[in-house]
Amino acid sequence: MFETLAAPKEDAIIALMQAYAADPRPDKIDLGVGVYRDERGHTPVMAAVKAAEAQILQAQDSKSYLSLAGDAAFLNAMESLLLGGAVPSARVAAVGAPGGTAAVRQICELIRKARPEAVIWVSAQTWPNHLPLITAAGLQTRPYRYLAPEGGLDQAAMFADLEHVRAGDVVLLHGCCHNPTGVDLVAQDWAEIGALLSRRGAVPFIDMAYQGFGEGLDADAGGLRHLAARLPEVLVAASCSKNFGLYRERVGIAMAIVDATQRSNLAAVLAGLNRQNFAFPPDHGARVVSTILGDVALRHQWESELAEMRNRVQTNRRALAEALRDETGSDRFAGVGAEQGMFSLLPLSPEEVQRLRVEHGVYLLDDGRANMAGLSVRNSTACARAIASVTR
């Protein structure tokens, strides 16, 4: 029965990770895989997470099933982290999911169930897994232009494309720290998007995978909160992989913000979708999150560790941008210093990216996506020198 199956194309990020691991050069630089790294290139367990895990180990006396939606304490804590009271809880239906990936998938399943003909509008540059996830859920996509050829947001093109959105369509937006460009919407853009979607009767779908990595926890959720407070329906998928460093524990939340009269129905539909796909969402990581957010001292510790990660990435950005200006004698890479979050899309051709890998041991994705957390004070000048040499 399986002879018709072809193996999927090798995942570009996994292939890059393997090539990096096999490279014997001691001064190689990994800007590929999208995880946070400290100055030593290590992805640490946060101290607040360790402390919460110790508490859970001590106190937990059962691993019996919880509800299909996941633990209520996690759902409530995440609602306030994401929405900050911008909408009444009576409008929020939410379920836990195994990571942001499954949260995106569950929201797509929800859309498909409600409106199979809906088109999902996706920014032309986006997380490589968005399109496969949406199409695997049986939905159609259309791109909207996002990045200007010279860098920065192409507002005119984005709004021109979004004018074609129809009633009942869904527009996928990155809540903050746009992956892969690092180019974020500002308050004015969110306001205009809100007005446009409201006028056209379309629904925003916010993917929030990096809250706290841009400007700060509240500022990064500003766009989401603006839309949630103004539009009748808003969909959200959020991940705790990056901001709690809980990657492999798989912690995410899928949320539908709707009219209060529909909330309990939507909550039941979302729980039913969990039932169909994996039944109960994983509990350990979610419990770590609710333990941290529910304890003043742990929360304080977590916020300061998160600020440290955010600041390190911003320092790396600025160091690379300055070194690139010095080494190339041009402003071609100036955007890197101002962009947000872990990623930037460096204006490099696939051939230049290939030469960086082969000649200099600098690893980034073929489209130029570079993880700024992979840099350090020690290697940003060497990295800039390598980039300058392949672009000369």
Ligand X SMILES: Cc1ncc(COP(=O)(O)O)c(C=O)c1O
**Interface with ligand X in residues 251-290 (CB under 6 A):** 252
Per the residue annotation, which of 86, 94, 209, 221 is the catalytic one?
209
Per the residue annotation, which of 242, 267, 323, 386 is the catalytic one?
242
> What is the C-alpha separation between 157 and 150, in angstroms, rounded?
13
Shortest CB 130 distance to ligand X, Å: 7
Question: Does residue 265 contact residue 119 with C-beta atoms inside 8 Å?
Answer: no
Shortest CB 88 distance to ligand X, Å: 27
93-101, 273-281, 304-312, 352-360 -> range binding ligand X (CB under 6 A): 93-101
Under rule CB under 6 A, residue 100 binds ligand X: yes
Question: Does residue 304 contact residue 173 with C-beta atoms inside 8 Å?
Answer: no
Strand locations in the chain, DSSP E? 29-30, 92-97, 119-123, 140-144, 170-174, 203-208, 234-239, 252-257, 343-345, 362-363, 369-371
> What is the C-alpha separation between 12 and 3, in angstroms, rounded?
25
Among 241, 274, 290, 380, binds ligand X (CB under 6 A): 241
Question: Does residue 154 contact residue 132 with C-beta atoms inside 8 Å?
Answer: no
Amino acid at site 93: A
What are the residues facing 97 on neighbouring strands?
A: 252
Per the annotation, the verdict on 207 as an active-site residue is yes
Among 32, 70, 96, 99, binds ligand X (CB under 6 A): 99
13-21, 117-125, 239-247, 331-339 -> range binding ligand X (CB under 6 A): 239-247
- At residue 340, the 3 state secondary structure works out as coil
Under rule CB under 6 A, residue 34 binds ligand X: yes
Site string for ligand X, 115-144 (x = CB under 6 A): ------------x-----------------
| Residue with Cβ nearer ligand X (122 or 323) | 122
Question: Does residue 234 contact residue 77 with C-beta atoms inside 8 Å?
Answer: no
Shortest CB 181 distance to ligand X, Å: 11
- Residue 248 CB neighbour total at 10 angstroms: 9
| Residue with Cβ nearer ligand X (100 or 182) | 100
Amino acid at site 188: Q
Per the residue annotation, which of 71, 184, 207, 220 is the catalytic one?
207
**Interface with ligand X in residues 165-204 (CB under 6 A):** 174, 179
Under rule CB under 6 A, residue 207 binds ligand X: yes
Shortest CB 246 distance to ligand X, Å: 8
| Residue with Cβ nearer ligand X (106 or 239) | 239
- At residue 357, the 3 state secondary structure works out as helix
Shortest CB 27 distance to ligand X, Å: 27
Per the annotation, the verdict on 229 as an active-site residue is no
- Residue 275 CB neighbour total at 10 angstroms: 12
| Residue with Cβ nearer ligand X (106 or 241) | 241
Query: What are the distances in angstroms from CA 25 to CA 28, 39, 124, 274, 357?
Result: 6, 18, 35, 45, 11
Catalytic residue annotation? 127, 207, 209, 242
State the residues that interact with ligand X by CB under 6 A: 34, 99-101, 104, 127, 174, 179, 207, 209, 239, 241, 247, 252
